[in-house]
Amino acid sequence: MLKILDRYIIKTFFGPFFFIFSVLFFIFIVNIIWVQMGQFMGKGLSYWQILKLLFYLGVNVISMVLPLTILLASIMSFGEFGERYELAAMKAAGIPLTRVMTPLLGIATALAIMLFFFSNNIIPDFQKKAKNMLFNIAQTKPAINFTPGQFIDQIPGYMVKFDKIYGENGENIEGVFVHRKASIYENQRTVVAEKGKFVPAANKNFLKLVLHNGYVFEDAIEGKGDNVRQKQPDQSIKFDTLVNHFDISEIINKAIEKEQITDDFRFETYNQLNKTIDRSKKENELFFKNVGNEVLSQTSSTIPYMDTPNKPKVAAKQQIKLDTVKGEKKLELIYNSYNRLETMKSTLESKKNEFSSNVKYFSKVVIHQQRMISYSVTCIIFFLIGASLGSIIRKGGMGLPVIIAIVIFIIFYVMNVAVENMSWSGKMNPYLAAWAPNFILFPFGIWMTYKALTDSQLFDAEKYKTLFKPITKRFSKSKEHKRYQ
C-alpha cells in the first residue's frame, strides 16, 4: 500500500511541476527577449539563429526557475491533498505527514543534485555560447544597418555617413559621404552625393550602392615619390550616376557562433573557479603590498624617516621652520606642499577605485561559485516551506498558493540582490553573501514544518479574529436590537 501511495504522491507532484516549470521558463524567456530585443531586431538574423540564441540564454535561467518551481509545485500538491481531505485520511490511517513528505523530499534532493551538476557542467558551456553569439551579433550585423547622421566604420575599408535614411526597407538615402580608408602612400578617395539607393547585388557578398548627383575626390599618389606627390593636383569628378560595390564577405561569412571570448569566470566549472579564486587572492595581496610602498615613495623626499622606523630622526638644526622663511621662498614652499598633497590625494583616490574593482571581481567569482551549491540547497529549503504551507492552508490550484509562492520568492530574490551588492562593496564576506538567504530561510522552513506536523492553524482567520476580538470590540458599536414603538 505504501508503494502505491508513494507513486500517487509523486504523480500528484509532477503534474503541476512540469506545467509550472514550462510556464516559468516561458516567462523568463519572454523577459530575455524583452531585454535583448534591440540586439535581435533588424540584424538580419534567421529564425533558427534567434531560437538558438534564446535557447542558450534560457538554459542559464534554470538555476532560478527550478527552486521556484519546486516551491510552487509543493504548495499546490499538498494544498490539493488538504483540500480533498486526503491528508486527513492518511493521518487517520496512521500515516504521519513526515511519511507523506519523504518521497517528495527524496525527489527534491535528487533535483537539487541534478541542478548542481547541471550548473557545473552544462550551464558554463551555454554561457560561453550565448555570450560569444551576442558579441558576434553586435560586432558583425550592425555593419549593414546604418544610423542617420553617424559615421559607420564597420564596412571593411570604408567610412560612411548618411544624413537621411528612408523607404520601406531603408534603401533610400540622402546626404551621402563615403571615404575609402587608405594609408598616406595609397590613393585617397572620397565620394559625396546628394542621394542614393541600395539595390540587390548579383553576388550576396557585395553591397551595391547607386549614387546620384555627386563628386568623386581622389588623389592618385600611389607608387609616386614625395616630390611628385607634392606636385600632384587634386582630382574632382562630377557624376550623375555612380555605382559602388562594397565587399562585405568578411561580415557575411563570419561564423555567428565563433568563440572569440574564452576568458570569463562564468565559463568555468566549480574546480576551475577554485583556481581563479586563488589567483585573485594572490593578485589582491600583491596589490595591498605595493599600494603602501607606492604612496610612501611619493613622500620620501619630504619625510624619508617614515619609510623605516629604525631611521634616526632628522636633527633639529636640519629642519626648516616656515616662520623663518620669507617672501617668495615661503610661497614656493607652501605651493609645493599643496601640490604634493593634491598628488597624493589623487593617487589614493585612484588606488581606492582600483581596490573597489578588485574586491567586486573577487566577490563576483566567489558568489558565482558558491551559488552552484547554494541554489541546490535552496531547492530543498523551498520544498520544506512549500510542503508545510500547502498542508496548512489546504488550498490547491492557481490561487492563494501562487500568491504565497511569489511573495516568498520575491523575498528570496531581494535578499540575494541586497547581500550581493553588500559583498561587491566589501561590506560582507562573499561566502556569507552567497549563503545568507539560505541561512535566513532554513529556520523558517524548519518552523513551518513543525507547524505543519502539529496541525497548526496558522492561516485560520477565525483564530486571529478571536485573538484580536477584545481590541476590535472597543472600536465597534453595539448591535443590540431595539424594540419598535
* Distances, alpha carbon 445 to alpha carbons 67, 105, 384, in Å: 14, 13, 6
Model confidence at 305: pLDDT above 80: no
Residues 288-309, mean pLDDT to the nearest whole number? 56
H helices of 141-190, in order, are none
Cβ pair 193, 164 in contact under 8 A: no
Which helix (H) or strand (E) segment holds residue 192: the answer is strand 188-199
**Residues 158, 181: Cα–Cα separation, whole Å:** 5
Residue type at 335? Y
pLDDT band at 335 (very low <50, low <70, confident <90, very high): confident
More confident residue, 259 or 181: 181
More confident residue, 374 or 300: 374
pLDDT score, position 12 = 86
The tens digit of pLDDT for each residue in 230-247 reads: 666 677 888 889 888 877
Highest mean pLDDT, choosing among 35-49, 104-118, 265-279, 391-405: 104-118
Of 352, 346, 340, nearest to 299 by C-alpha is 340
pLDDT band at 306 (very low <50, low <70, confident <90, very high): very low
**Residues 433, 281: Cα–Cα separation, whole Å:** 18
User: For 458, which DSSP code?
Assistant: T
Cβ pair 108, 70 in contact under 8 A: yes
Grid cell, residue 272, equals: 576551475
Model confidence at 326: pLDDT above 70: no
Model confidence at 324: pLDDT above 90: no
Of 267, 366, 273, 372, nearest to 56 by C-alpha is 267
pLDDT score, position 382 = 92
Residue 415, φ and ψ in degrees, nearest 5: -60, -40
Model confidence at 390: pLDDT above 70: yes
How high is the mean pLDDT of the chain? 77
Q: Is the entire prediction scored with pTM above 0.95? A: no
pLDDT score, position 115 = 92
Mention every residue, 6+ apart, whose C-beta is less than 8 A from residue 10.
Answer: 103, 104, 107
The tens digit of pLDDT for each residue in 172-222 reads: 889 998 888 777 667 778 899 999 988 877 776 777 889 999 998 887 766
pLDDT score, position 31 = 79
Of 406, 393, 449, nearest to 79 by C-alpha is 393
Residue 272, φ and ψ in degrees, nearest 5: -65, -35
Helices (H) and strands (E) in the chain, counts: 14, 5
**Residues 84, 67: Cα–Cα separation, whole Å:** 26
Residues 257-270, mean pLDDT to the nearest whole number? 74
Share of the chain above pLDDT 90, in %: 11
* Distances, alpha carbon 443 to alpha carbons 71, 97, 383, 438, 448, in Å: 16, 19, 13, 9, 9
pLDDT score, position 396 = 66
Residue type at 142? P
The tens digit of pLDDT for each residue in 112-150 reads: 999 999 999 888 888 888 887 777 766 554 445 577 888
Mention every residue, 6+ apart, whose C-beta is less than 8 A from residue 39.
Answer: 134, 137, 138
- Helix, strand, coil percent content, the chain, rounded in steps of 5: 65, 10, 25
Cβ pair 142, 154 in contact under 8 A: yes
Residue type at 180? R
Strand arrangement, sheet containing 158-166? 158-166, 172-180, 188-199, 206-219, 235-247
**Residues 428, 366: Cα–Cα separation, whole Å:** 12
